[in-house]
């Protein structure tokens, strides 16, 4: 059963329509990757889930409940957590305070969860009293993900979690994503490092100009010559970046 | 030795007193800027209002201004929350310039109401002149100044505890960092906005009352503090409460110390030009380092 689904979503910013009918879903236990050229509307599609967009038509469901145009704060309370592409940490708060803010809507004791997050991201334990803004790019990404995971979300949305990271950190983040997923959290992520992402993904969607272009199993997309040609840096084409 | 004592008694301590007042006022300005994202021109009027509430309560009760302070803080907070409800909330999603203009209008409106209700003549909060307490033979510090400095220290400690130890205080700092991410984190931003008004108005009321306690009560007193408070917020880094406290202290001190006879026997700067000091510091800071001492927002 789908944990999260978008059904023919149409919407944009103000009068500018960006999404012209996007459909996708994430099932229990899956990692689903969205790829596509810059400006295709990948980030916008994620914002559509969070009530950050005016949807003129289409619907969004969490489990079986419709959450179309639900206020952002309520969507979070329903257990959907989102790591935006940029500005995804509170730079002047310490690492630990960032994690506490991640647990803002929790009423119960979140200390055990925080310990789990520190286990998953050991560098954060060491830096927990440091202002998050002073950390390296890879560590900031860890803070952003750790913060989003404090709620033990039903589903985690990640927007380009490895953008701008060194290959070493990139590999590390991908392996953490896998670990989180193995522990039972379904993941929907946008990725520019499409090849690497599709390798760990169950399924993928290719978005172009605010519309679905291709979709299929991760491996199937990797093997598709057209997708490879356009988006995976096959032949002489540059990887969309 | 005499010269040193004179320096401490007549320049340093008054500088700290003035600086504490600026600091408390500037915290509200910087928090409003960080969280509600606008320069609140009505903040000075909030102070004046707090002073007049205190003055009125002192006419009908026999208590010391410090005892009355919590009650007048509460009244000030209620008025400010009402103003937010009526005039700012409808503009929450509007461009900043509209909200700034609204605050300018509210500044004029509140001042007119104060002048209408209480009149424009000078009043005293506490009657008469107090004799300074003489410590160690030569250190003369007036009890008023001790009360103001001690109260300011307590309030600054409370602000610090709020911002660093409580969930809501941390959420205030988070929202000041990034309102969008705060919303995505599930932080109820309206509640944070309310808290910001409560903290800002309480501190403004306290700062105003301390000033009135040290000097007198008049309808323009808050407005006259607006420039040094903005200068303090900018000096400390806009959106940074600790910066505003440091900025307030620095500006208060520099204003007072600028008229000390550093060279020769004449005041370095004629005391008549004191008010220009804050302005000069603000302009220099905007030119040299607009993000302020504590790396605040550049606007
Ligand atoms: N906040 C915004 N306001 C207006 N237009 C936006 C905003 N964010 C993105 N856009 C526009 O929407 C389109 C899709 O952007 P985005 O979803 O960020 O693309 P992607 O994530 O696929 O690179 C782009 O043309 C971009 O300029
Ligand atoms: Mg994007």
Largest Cα–Cα distance in chain B? 61
Asked if residues A51 and A71 have their Cβ atoms less than 8 Å apart, the reply is: yes
Q: Which of A101, A144, A152, A158 to mutate to test the interface with B (most CBs of B within 10 A)?
A: A101
Taking only the tens place, the pLDDT of each residue in A21-32 is: 999 999 999 999
Task: Could you list the beta-strand ranges (E) of A75-160.
Answer: 80-83, 155-159
Summarize the confidence of residues B69-79 as an average pLDDT: 98
Percent of chain B with pLDDT over 70: 95
Is residue B297 within 8 Å of residue B238, measured between CB atoms?
yes
Mean pLDDT of A178-201: 93
What is the residue-averaged pLDDT of chain A?
91
Question: Can you tell me which residue has the tokens 């927002």?
Answer: B297
A39 lines ligand 1 (CB under 6 A): yes
Asked whether residue A200 is domain-assigned, the answer is yes
CA-CA distance, A57 to A22, in Å (whole number)?
10
Is B183 in CB contact (< 8 Å) with chain A?
yes
Q: A41 C-alpha vs ligand 1 centroid, how far in Å?
A: 6
What range does the domain containing B24 cover? 2-288
Instruction: Indicate if the pLDDT at residue A240 is higher than 60.
Output: no
Answer whether A38 contacts ligand 1 (Cβ < 6 A). yes
Looking at the structure of chain A, the number of domains it has is 1
For tokens 């461009």, what's the residue? B95
Q: Which residue of chain A is at minimal alpha-carbon distance from B295?
A: A92
- Tell me whether residue A220 is in a domain: yes
Q: Is residue A68 part of a domain?
A: yes
Evaluate whether residue B297 is within a structural domain: no
d(C-alpha B291, C-alpha B299), whole Å: 9
Residue A165 lies in a domain: no
Give the Å distances, CA to CA, from B256 to B3, B132, B215.
16, 19, 15
Hey, is A167 helix, strand or coil?
helix
What whole-number distance in Å separates Cα of residue A111 and Cα of residue A228?
A: 45
Residue B216 lies in a domain: yes
Q: Is the pLDDT of residue B6 over 60?
A: yes
| Residues paired with A214 in a beta bridge | A206
Instruction: Let me know: does B240 contact B54? Beta carbons within 8 Å.
Output: no
Kindly report the number of other CB atoms within 10 A of residue B188's CB atom: 16
Residue B154 tokens, joined: 């307590």
Q: Which ipTM score applies to this complex?
A: 0.90
Question: Quick check: A101 and B171 CB within 8 A?
Answer: yes
Q: Which of A58-62, B45-49, B229-233, B288-292 has the lowest mean pLDDT?
A: B288-292
Q: Does residue A178 sit within a domain? A: no
Residue B130 predicted with pLDDT over 70: no
Per-residue model confidence (pLDDT) at position A232:
73
Residue-wise pLDDT tens digits, A143-176: 999 999 999 999 999 999 999 899 988 999 999 9
Residue-level pLDDT at B128: 60
- Residue to mutate (ligand 1; options A11, A13, A35; most atoms within 8 A of CB): A13
- Strands (DSSP E) contained in chain B are 133-135, 139-141
Query: Is A163 part of any domain?
Result: no
pLDDT tier, B1 (very low <50, low <70, confident <90, very high otherwise): low
Closest CA to A131 of B142, B64, B174, B269: B174
Residue B24: helix, strand or coil by DSSP?
helix
What does the alpha-carbon distance between residue B215 and residue B207 come to, in Å, rounded to a whole number? Answer: 12
SS3 sequence, B34-73? HHHCCCCCCHHHHHHHHHHHHHHHHHHCCCCHHHHHHHHH
**Strand-by-strand arrangement of the A211-217 sheet:** A80-83, A155-159, A187-190, A31-35, A203-208, A211-217
Give the global pTM: 0.90
Provide the number of structural domains found in chain B.
1
Q: Is B129 in the A-facing interface, judged by CB distances under 8 Å?
A: no
DSSP state of B130: P
* Surface-to-core class of residue B227, CB atoms within 10 Å of its CB (0-12 exposed, 13-18 middle, 19+ buried): middle
- For residue B295, being part of any structural domain is answered with no
Q: Distance between CA atoms of B172 and B163, rounded to whole angstroms?
A: 7
A206 located within any domain: yes
Q: What chain B residue is nearest to A49 in terms of C-alpha separation?
A: B184
Q: How far is it, in rounded angstroms, from Cα B161 to Cα B154?
A: 11
Task: Tell me if A176 is assigned to some domain.
Answer: no
Residue B264 has pLDDT above 80, yes or no: no
Structural domain contains residue B280: yes
Average pLDDT rounded to a whole number, residues B6-19: 90
What is the distance of C-alpha A41 from the center of its chain?
Answer: 14
Average pLDDT, chain B: 91
* Local structure of A17: helix, strand or coil: strand
CB within 8 Å of B253: residues ≥ 6 apart: B12, B15, B16, B18, B19
Nearest-CA residue of chain B relative to A74? Answer: B186
Residue B119 has, within 13 A of its CA and on its CB side, a CA count of 5
Please report how many Cα atoms fall inside a 13 Å half-sphere around the Cα of residue A203, on the Cβ side.
Answer: 13
Is B16 within a domain?
Answer: yes
In whole angstroms, give the CA distance from residue A214 to residue A224: 10
CATH number for the domain including A35?
A: 3.40.50.300
- Between chain A and chain B, the number of residue pairs with CB atoms below 8 A apart is 57
- Domain with residue B57: its CATH number is 1.10.3470
Higher local confidence (pLDDT), B206 or A192:
B206
**Segment among A199-203, A234-238, B208-212 with least mean pLDDT:** A234-238
For residue A44, the enclosing domain spans 1-78+187-231
Given a cut of 50, is residue A236 above it in pLDDT?
Answer: no
Specify if B212 maps to a domain: yes
Provide the token pair at B67: 């005892």
pLDDT for the residue numbered A235: 42
Q: What is the pLDDT of residue A9?
A: 96
If phi > 0 it is left, if psi is from -120 to 50 it is alpha, else beta; for residue A205 that is: beta
């Amino acid at each position: 059963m789908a944990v999260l689904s978008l059904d023919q979503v149409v919407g944009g910013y103000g009068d500018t329509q960006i999404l012209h009918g996007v459909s996708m879903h994430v099932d229990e236990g899956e990692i689903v990757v969205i790829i596509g050229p810059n400006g295709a509307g990948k980030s916008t599609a994620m914002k559509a889930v969070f009530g950050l967009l005016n949807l003129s038509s289409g619907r969004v469901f969490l489990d079986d409940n419709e959450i179309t145009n639900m206020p952002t704060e309520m969507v979070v309370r329903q257990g959907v957590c989102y790591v935006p592409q940029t500005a995804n940490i509170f730079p002047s708060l310490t690492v630990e305070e960032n994690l506490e803010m991640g647990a803002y809507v929790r009423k119960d004791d979140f200390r055990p969860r925080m310990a789990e997050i520190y286990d998953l991201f050991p560098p954060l334990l060491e830096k927990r009293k440091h202002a998050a803004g002073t950390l390296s790019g890879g560590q900031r990404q860890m803070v952003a993900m750790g913060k989003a995971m404090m709620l033990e979300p039903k589903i985690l949305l990640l927007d380009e979690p490895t953008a701008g990271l060194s290959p070493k950190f990139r590999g590390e983040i991908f392996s953490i994503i896998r670990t989180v997923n193995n522990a039972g959290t379904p993941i929907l992520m946008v990725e520019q490092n499409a090849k690497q992402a599709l390798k760990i993904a169950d399924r993928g969607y290719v978005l172009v100009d605010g519309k679905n272009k291709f979709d299929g199993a991760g491996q199937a997309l990797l093997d598709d010559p057209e997708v490879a040609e356009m988006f995976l840096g096959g032949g002489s084409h540059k990887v969309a970046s | 030795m005499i010269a040193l004592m004179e320096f401490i008694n007549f320049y340093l301590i008054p500088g700290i007193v003035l600086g504490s007042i600026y600091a408390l006022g500037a915290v509200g300005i910087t928090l409003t800027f960080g969280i509600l994202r606008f320069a609140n021109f009505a903040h000075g009027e909030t102070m004046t209002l707090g002073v007049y509430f205190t003055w009125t309560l002192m006419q009908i009760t026999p208590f010391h201004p410090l005892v009355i302070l919590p009650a007048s803080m509460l009244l000030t907070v209620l008025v400010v929350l009402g103003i937010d409800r009526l005039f700012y909330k409808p503009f929450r999603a509007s461009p900043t310039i509209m909200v700034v203009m609204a605050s300018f209008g509210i500044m004029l409106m509140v001042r007119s109401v104060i002048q209408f209700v209480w009149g424009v003549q000078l009043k005293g909060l506490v009657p008469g002149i107090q004799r300074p307490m003489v410590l160690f033979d030569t250190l003369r510090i007036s009890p008023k100044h001790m009360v103001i400095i001690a109260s300011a220290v307590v309030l600054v400690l409370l602000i610090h505890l709020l911002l660093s130890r409580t969930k809501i205080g941390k959420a205030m700092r988070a929202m000041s960092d990034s309102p969008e991410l705060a919303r995505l984190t599930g932080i109820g931003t309206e509640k944070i906005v309310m808290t910001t008004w409560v903290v800002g108005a309480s501190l403004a009321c306290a700062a105003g009352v301390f000033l009135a306690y040290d000097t007198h009560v008049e309808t323009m007193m808050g407005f006259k503090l607006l420039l040094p408070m903005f200068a303090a917020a900018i000096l400390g880094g806009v959106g940074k409460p600790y910066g505003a406290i440091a900025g307030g202290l620095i500006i208060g001190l520099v204003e007072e110390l600028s008229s000390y006879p550093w060279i020769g026997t004449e005041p370095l700067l004629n005391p008549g030009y004191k008010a220009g000091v804050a302005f000069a510091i603000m302009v220099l800071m905007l030119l040299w380092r607009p993000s302020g001492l504590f790396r605040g927002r550049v606007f």
